[in-house]
């Protein structure tokens, strides 16, 4: 095993009660897609369609966490994190999306939670991380209102089983990405290409969030958040056309998903008019008070005026006809995924949130932050995490109330449409043997946690 690489030490001191963790999702690591009564998900079907996944793979086995979770919890314990953010697979718990609850599916999460608690690690389940039951998707998925209601019933079933041991809950993960990539551009499941016709999926996910908060509260939950993806939006130039395009992009990817929750309104009347149902009444549900607000941060977005032609940025294909054009960010290092490494963007984002939302902003938890690099001696990942933790501390020094930080991810895993070509894990997974090997970044983060604990 390689030694922990030398690196600038120590990091700034975080508060003693600061929550340190790592994150994963069910669809990316569990495997066992046909075991113990689990139904098919939209991602199972999407991955089975020719050409959808770049390396032609699927997640039927993934990292086999379903069977190997005791080993993975052992890795968490050795790492020294205080919390583990995982997701519960809706099709494992309610295979048809609504109706009968699959007790055998809940049994798995029962075992996982008990094993985590025995190891001194707080379980932080996310109730939805993109794996919509395919039966629900066949009926329209998040484009129809009933899906939000069925999601709330599923949330209630999970809380009924796990709520006596789970303190912190997350409703949704990144509804913006599911809306954009899944329903708007068709590059993620369910593969629909609706462009602005995808907006109902945004509204119904937010409604599902609010209904799930109500269901969790009714079951006695006292610590609830969401995991929204956010990043600063930079205009490609000072030209008015570029500034207007960047403002619209920021509205659709950031404010559209933050402001209904934090302010109880949509940021633009024209957008609100495109949404279905009684939006004003729905907003009262969507804006249920949260105990904390989760942010997933990876990079800023550079956006300019429409070019009139298709392009590709950071692995995402951008079709022609949109009123803005995301662009590559020059002048910064890049991950193996081609994403710009901009730690100061995290400081900018968090300070901007505090300035924009003021007292309406609850304490923040960074629910995802990480990068894709090859190799077990992954010094680039160490540099990335070091830089972002310093940027996070700078935001806290500037007055932003941040309560926790979760690295994405514990394990290399099935990286959605990229298949197994991207490695975000602190732990390397050999996909032929499923052997786990801690990377240099794992050992570095372990030392960081020991230093933060005063050990």
Active site residues per annotation: 174, 368
CA 267 to CA 436: how far, in whole Å? 45
CA distances from 440 to 32, 129, 189, 415, 444 (A): 29, 28, 33, 21, 6
Quick check: 4 and 381 in contact, CB under 8 A?
no
Residue 340 DSSP SS3: strand
**Residues paired with residue 173 on neighbouring β-strands, in sequence order:** 227
Dist CA 306 CA 82 (whole Å): 45
The answer to whether 318 touches 253, Cβ cutoff 8 Å, is no
29 vs 22, 46, 146, 287, 420, CA distance in Å? 14, 17, 28, 32, 11
Q: How many CB atoms lie within 10 A of CB 3?
A: 8
Burial of 251 (0-12, 13-18, 19+ CB in 10 A): middle
238 within 8 A of 246, measured Cβ to Cβ? no
Alpha helix locations (H) across 323-438? 344-357, 379-397
Handedness of CA 435, 82, 337, 200 (dihedral sign): positive
DSSP letters, 79-132, are HT-SEEEEE--HHHHSTTSSSS--HHHHHHHHHHHHHHHHTT-EEEEEEESS--
Q: Which of 86, 67, 100 is nearest to 131 (CA)?
A: 86
User: Could you tell me the CA-to-CA distances from 409 to 16, 164, 175, 364, 391 in Å, in that order?
Assistant: 23, 27, 19, 19, 19
CB 114 within 8 A of CB 52: no
Q: Which residues pair with 402 in a beta bridge?
A: 364
- How far CA 316 is from CA of 100, 253, 263, 325, in Å, comes to 37, 14, 30, 12
């Amino acid at each position: 095993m390689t030694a922990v690489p030398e690196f600038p030490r120590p990091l700034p001191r975080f508060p003693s009660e600061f929550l340190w963790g790592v994150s994963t999702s069910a669809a990316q690591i569990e495997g066992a897609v046909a075991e113990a009564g689990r139904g098919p998900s939209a991602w199972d079907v999407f991955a089975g369609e020719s050409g959808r996944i770049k390396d032609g793979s699927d997640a039927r086995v993934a990292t086999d966490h379903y069977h190997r979770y005791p080993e993975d919890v052992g890795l968490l314990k050795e790492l020294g994190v205080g919390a583990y953010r995982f997701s519960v697979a809706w099709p494992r718990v309610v295979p048809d999306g609504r109706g009968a609850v699959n007790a055998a599916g809940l049994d798995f999460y029962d075992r996982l939670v008990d094993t985590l608690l025995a190891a001194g690690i707080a379980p932080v389940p996310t109730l939805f991380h993109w794996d919509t039951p395919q039966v629900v998707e066949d009926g329209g998925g998040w484009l129809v209102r009933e899906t939000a209601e069925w999601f709330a019933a599923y949330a209630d079933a999970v809380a009924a089983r796990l709520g006596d041991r789970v303190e912190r809950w997350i409703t949704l993960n990144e509804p913006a990405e599911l809306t954009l990539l899944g329903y708007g551009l068709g590059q993620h499941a369910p593969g629909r290409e609706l462009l602005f016709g995808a907006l109902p999926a945004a509204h119904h996910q937010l409604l599902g969030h609010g209904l799930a908060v109500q269901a969790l509260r009714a079951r006695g939950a006292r610590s609830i958040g969401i995991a929204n993806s956010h990043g600063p939006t930079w205009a490609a130039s000072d030209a008015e056309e570029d500034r207007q395009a960047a403002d619209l992009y920021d509205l659709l990817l950031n404010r559209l998903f933050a402001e209904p929750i934090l302010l109880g309104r949509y940021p633009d009347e024209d957008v609100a008019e495109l949404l279905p149902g009684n939006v004003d009444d729905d907003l009262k549900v969507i804006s249920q008070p949260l105990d904390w607000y989760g942010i997933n941060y990876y990079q800023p977005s550079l956006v300019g005026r429409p070019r009139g032609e298709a392009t590709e940025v950071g692995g995402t294909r951008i079709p022609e006809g949109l009123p803005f054009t995301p662009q590559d960010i020059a002048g910064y290092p890049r991950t193996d995924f081609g994403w710009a490494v901009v730690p100061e963007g995290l400081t900018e984002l968090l300070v901007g949130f505090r300035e924009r939302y003021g007292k309406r902003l609850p304490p923040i938890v960074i629910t995802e932050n990480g990068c894709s690099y090859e190799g077990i001696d992954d010094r680039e990942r160490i540099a990335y995490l070091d830089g972002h933790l310093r940027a996070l501390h700078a935001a806290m020094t500037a007055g932003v109330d941040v309560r926790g930080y979760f690295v994405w991810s514990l394990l290399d895993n099935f990286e959605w449409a990229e298949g197994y070509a991207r490695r975000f894990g602190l732990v390397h997974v050999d996909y032929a043997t499923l052997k786990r090997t801690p990377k240099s970044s794992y050992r570095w983060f372990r030392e960081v946690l020991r230093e933060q604990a005063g050990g």
